[in-house]
Amino acid sequence: MKLATFSTADNATPRVGIVTDRGLIDLAASGDFPNDMTALLAAGIDAPSITRAIDGAPALALNAVHLHAPVMHPGKILALGLNYADHIEESGMEAPKYQVWFNKQHNCANGPYDDINLPAVSDKLDYEAELCLVIGKRCKHVPKERAHEVIGGYFCGNDVSVRDWQIRVPTFQIGKSFDTHGPMGPWLVTPDEVGDPHALDIRCLVNGEERQRSNTKHLIFDCFDAIAHLSQAFTLDAGDVLFMGTPAGVGVAMKPPKWLQAGDVVRVEIDRLGYIENTVVPEVAETVIG
């Protein structure tokens, strides 16, 4: 099942829809379902009930809706660094003994086809194609063999990074958290439709030029490792998003580095999940208070 968060020209309120062969069906309009993805995950995705409710319901063409990040306001966005061996090698760093996690602030969450900002304060903008998962059930102390039970779904992500801000201090958080720098989507694909999340081809293209190509089988710490590890420390809540790391081919590692420029189009593709595609635009640096 593919679950999308969308709005339309005549109704700007984001709500949840089901992507089908006929198009996108408004879930809340078809039955007694939450119109927010986090609420739907927390309530439990009752696939048989959804299937019955949308039978014969009118569908919208995908090109007639605006797709938002599947989870628009995640409680937590956590990203795993140095999680592909080839990326570690190109970074000139040692393989981590423990999982290396950092926060991306929730304000960075962005739609699958929305613009990403070239910051007014930096020209060192980079891309990172990543598999993302969303937590579907509140959980704590989850053993690895049960981690699959708490995953609500998967989607594509781009861990957009402002490299000079990232590396000039010991923590990555600010350089990974600029507004618009967490595009996700295009929709949430439920685990039953994905199958093995560790057998997915992943690719990134900039202006049609392939920059990254790998497979999630090369993850050092897999999705289930991640949940088992994090849930030992703190509760994971429905709607929390995990970025699972990027393979080799990032711009900063090229010689010379290839930074993203205004007008560049960045596309992230993952098998069975679809793709996201975002255009880089100059940030309008306006003071906002209140």
Measured over the CA atoms of residue 229, residue 230, residue 232 and residue 237, the dihedral's sign is negative
Written as six digits, the tokens of 165 are 């801000």
Dist. CA 159–CA 141, nearest whole Å = 27
Instruction: Provide the pLDDT for residue 245.
Output: 97
Dist. CA 28–CA 73, nearest whole Å = 19
Predicted TM-score (pTM) of this structure: 0.96
For residue 225, give the H/E element and its range.
helix 223-233
For the chain, counts of helices (H) and of strands (E): 7, 18
Dist. CA 119–CA 96, nearest whole Å = 30
Instruction: Provide the pLDDT for residue 62.
Output: 96
| 265 DSSP assignment | E
Dist. CA 128–CA 105, nearest whole Å = 16
Instruction: Provide the pLDDT for residue 38.
Output: 97
Closest CA to 115 of 105, 106, 125, 124: 125
* Structural domains in the chain, sorted by start: 2-67 (no CATH), 77-282 (3.90.850.10)
Dist. CA 45–CA 163, nearest whole Å = 38
Compute how many other C-beta atoms are within 10 angstroms of the C-beta atom of residue 268: 31
Residue-level pLDDT, tens digit, the chain, 290 residues: 999 999 999 999 999 999 999 999 999 888 889 999 999 999 999 999 999 999 989 999 999 999 999 999 999 999 999 999 888 888 787 888 999 999 999 999 999 999 999 999 999 999 999 999 999 999 999 999 999 999 999 999 999 999 999 999 989 999 999 999 999 999 999 999 999 999 999 999 999 999 999 999 999 999 999 999 999 999 999 999 999 999 999 999 999 999 999 999 999 999 999 999 999 999 999 999 99
Q: What is the DSSP string of 26-82?
A: EHHHHSS--SSHHHHHHH---HHHHHHHHTT---B-GGGSEE--SSSS-S-EEEEES
